[in-house]
Structure 1
Amino acid sequence: MKITNLSPIVEPQPVNLEAEIALANSKFPQPDLPFYRKLGRTDLTVSCLGLGGGGRISSEDTLYAFEQGINYFFYSSDLHQYFYSTMAETLRKLCGRKSSVREKVVLATVTYIVRSPDTIFSYLFDQFSDLGIDYIDVFFWGWIDQHNASAFEKCISASDDIRGPNTVCQRTIERVFGVSERLKKMGAVRYIGASFHDHDLARQWLNSPWLDVAMVRHNIAHRTAQTKVFPHLDANDPHRPGIVTFKSAGMSGPPLWNPPVGLPSGCWLPSVPDLYRYSLSQNCVDVALTGLRNRQEVDAAVASVHKGKLTPEELDYLNLYGDLHRRRVKIQDIPPERLLVSSSK
């Protein structure tokens, strides 16, 4: 995916999406954890690792991540924008109006100010101005919980006025930023997503025709999504929403890659890439959003995916490991045969 020219725009010829994904995955060794996949019911081909700005990765290493195959980028224009700003230069090159590789990138943006659908133009104005783009692949309403549930319902109900070509949203963006062929073809926003901090709300909206992609918290110590979200999805359903996980490497408290109190020496200590692979081993998870900080972490995360899905024994161990971190269980109550030693990894 080396970028040699970011200037000429060549419109791609129509391709078969399944064939395109199969070809993209042919260079990767593990078929049970494909590096590229279709994002739910969308027609987007995404890398299973997504890159956000939480680790303040540099623009140069953001470009390196793209060259290593990561094509899903998550960008905030309001909350924590300082952290995301270090990615902006490369996102302008990859997604700007003069980019020759725009169709190979999936740009997801978010606003955490959820009020009414009318306010979306303010958020899009910031994002289009900041990145110089033609369109956004997935626009997320962010941090959805019980406090803003009613406002979110109003916002998401306006999805058909926002997503796709020939919408009011597109015409407004065209008036401000000018018309382009890509904007006319894609619309200002291609798909609508929501980032849920309440798993009950996520479950409630999974089957809504207004929601294309759901993003949920998930890691080995916070597994609520495994009971409230993932079991309610059918991996073979072409109409299911795309699923992205965040906080896969932890939330608050001691880092999950540090051993929990009482863990015997010699037991397997999962790395951060192992934690991403844990989320990707769950039902219907398409993308694990990462907070990679540099190209070394990019290489480690990509290499981890190449190992394939975790085994049932590894998943069981990491469930116990996460419970030890949350102090849900005591080490003396765990049968020794369920503990994995580091030499097994």
Structure 2
Amino acid sequence: MTAPTTTPATPRAAIARMKPATLPLGGLRPARRQSLPKPHDRLPLGLTGMTVSPLALGITTPDTVLAAYDMGINFFFLTSDLHWPLYQGLRDGLAELFRSRPSARDEVVVAVVSYLDQPLFNYLQFNEVIDSVPGLERVDVLMAGAVPSEANLYSRFNSLHGARSARHFGGQALGASFHHRPAALLSINANLLDVHFIRYNTSHPGAVTDIFPYARPDRTGLIFNFKSTMSQVTPEQFRKLGLDGRSWLPKTTDYYRFALTVPGMDGVLCSPQSPEQLNGIVEALNAGPLSAEEEAYMRWLSSSVNPQYF
């Protein structure tokens, strides 16, 4: 894809201001990626011996689950409480996958997250998930959702670690989604968890300066992104900025490219609503990483539409 053109409404000086700031002492900026991950790639899930695809499926449809498995995707993300109805399609899709292809259960990795806080989190009530998906039988990754602080991480980690030690629900790996980047970095560098879901997108690019440069190179835990497309600029917003066909309006799939272009991001959680949308994501990843100018342009677009985040 050619670099986006600019108009008087998108001056290069404004875009230049969106480039990452100079890193503080001690930070490292890895070399830029030359290619993006593919669905059939496999990443080690900590030291568990399990491996996962760099694309994980969350809220989706049953037919997309089957298409994803055929494409090589083996990582799936379910909830045990918050947003339960939104995951019905994924639950139904996994049930059909296990029914039609019994061997698939040992080839996929299913993470289940609980957003409950202590003391309720301590009970890790994942049994309803197992009961709702025939053939699931176990939870491969036990997860804490929306960790807001380091203290919360420590408290819920103790519950997760105890559950894994007891093989609660068959759990072998531990993970969390984070709303607090310092807590995520602490866990990453202490190798507390096997997978960390962080929020990095065009309106929340802070991880590029306060997580990735400081993540230890020998970390064992994976880093996945969620909310990749939350700041997508719509055609209407694009027009309100005074932009036209001479400027680039990024597609939904370009926001996944944005998340994976940053060195250190191992994978993304995505929610395609059809096999066609999933194919679109894969085709976009085949196009390769964004250029530095394209990254800066997408951040500029989001900052113009959502200035409250900047």
TM-score range, shorter-chain basis? 0.7 to 0.9
**Paired residues of 2:112 and 2:126 also in contact (CA < 8 A):** no
Q: Which residue of 1 aligns with 2:228?
A: 248
Report deviation, 1:304. 0.6
**Paired residues of 2:63 and 2:274 also in contact (CA < 8 A):** no
- The answer to whether residue 98 in structure 2 is matched with residue 92 in structure 1 is no
Matches within 5 A, 1:38-49: 38-39=43-44, 41-42=46-47, 43-49=49-55
Report deviation, 1:126. 1.6
Give SS of 2:268's match: strand
Q: Say which is worse superposed, 37-46 or 283-292, in terms of deviation.
A: 37-46
Report deviation, 1:66. 1.9
Q: Say which is worse superposed, 271-280 or 100-109, in terms of deviation.
A: 100-109
Q: Say which is worse superposed, 98-107 or 59-68, in terms of deviation.
A: 98-107
**Paired residues of 1:95 and 1:105 also in contact (CA < 8 A):** no
**Paired residues of 2:141 and 2:171 also in contact (CA < 8 A):** yes
- The answer to whether residue 179 in structure 2 is matched with residue 197 in structure 1 is yes
**Greater length-normalized contact order (CA 8 Å, ≥ 6 residues apart):** 2
Report deviation, 1:47. 2.5
Give SS of 2:103's match: coil
CA RMSD between the two structures: 2.7
Residue-pair matches, total: 270
- The answer to whether residue 293 in structure 2 is matched with residue 292 in structure 1 is no
- Corresponding letter in the other structure for 1:275: Y
Matches within 5 A, 1:255-274: 255-258=232-235, 259-260=237-238, 261-265=240-244, 266-274=246-254
**Paired residues of 2:191 and 2:221 also in contact (CA < 8 A):** no
Q: Which residue of 2 aligns with 1:336?
A: none
Give SS of 1:289's match: strand
Normalised by the size of structure 2, how large is the TM-score? 0.78
Normalised by the size of structure 1, how large is the TM-score? 0.70
Cα distance in 2 between the residues matched to 1:275 and 1:205: 26
Q: Which residue of 1 aligns with 2:11?
A: none
Cα distance in 2 between the residues matched to 1:292 and 1:45: 22
- The answer to whether residue 143 in structure 2 is matched with residue 140 in structure 1 is yes
**Paired residues of 1:40 and 1:286 also in contact (CA < 8 A):** no
With over 3 angstroms needed to count, the CA separation of the structure-2 counterparts of 1:81 and 1:312, relative to structure 1, is same
Which residue of 127, 138, 152 corresponds with 1:125? Answer: 127
Report deviation, 1:263. 4.8
- Corresponding letter in the other structure for 1:119: Y
**Paired residues of 1:73 and 1:107 also in contact (CA < 8 A):** yes
Deviation by residue 1:57-114 (Cα, 9 ceiling, x = unmatched) = 3212221222223222111121111010122122124457982122321211111112
Cα distance in 2 between the residues matched to 1:275 and 1:139: 28
Q: Which residue of 2 aligns with 1:224?
A: 206
% identical aligned pairs: 26
With over 3 angstroms needed to count, the CA separation of the structure-2 counterparts of 1:127 and 1:312, relative to structure 1, is same
Cα distance in 1 between the residues matched to 2:52 and 2:34: 16
Matches within 5 A, 1:304-315: 304-315=284-295
- Corresponding letter in the other structure for 1:125: N
- Corresponding letter in the other structure for 2:57: L
Deviation by residue 1:283-336 (Cα, 9 ceiling, x = unmatched) = 21111111211122111111111111112222222222222222379xxxxxxx
Gapped regions of structure 2 (runs ≥ 5): 1-32
Cα distance in 2 between the residues matched to 1:96 and 1:137: 18
Q: Which residue of 1 aligns with 2:163?
A: 162
**Paired residues of 1:88 and 1:131 also in contact (CA < 8 A):** yes
**Paired residues of 1:214 and 1:243 also in contact (CA < 8 A):** yes
Cα distance in 1 between the residues matched to 2:145 and 2:74: 21
Give SS of 1:142's match: strand
Deviation by residue 1:126-171 (Cα, 9 ceiling, x = unmatched) = 222222423322221001114xx545422202444322xxx4244x
Cα distance in 2 between the residues matched to 1:271 and 1:44: 33
With over 3 angstroms needed to count, the CA separation of the structure-2 counterparts of 1:300 and 1:157, relative to structure 1, is same
Gapped regions of structure 1 (runs ≥ 5): 1-29, 174-187, 330-345
**Paired residues of 1:279 and 1:288 also in contact (CA < 8 A):** yes
- Corresponding letter in the other structure for 1:61: T
Cα distance in 2 between the residues matched to 1:83 and 1:327: 29
Deviation by residue 1:252-276 (Cα, 9 ceiling, x = unmatched) = xxx4244444253121111111100
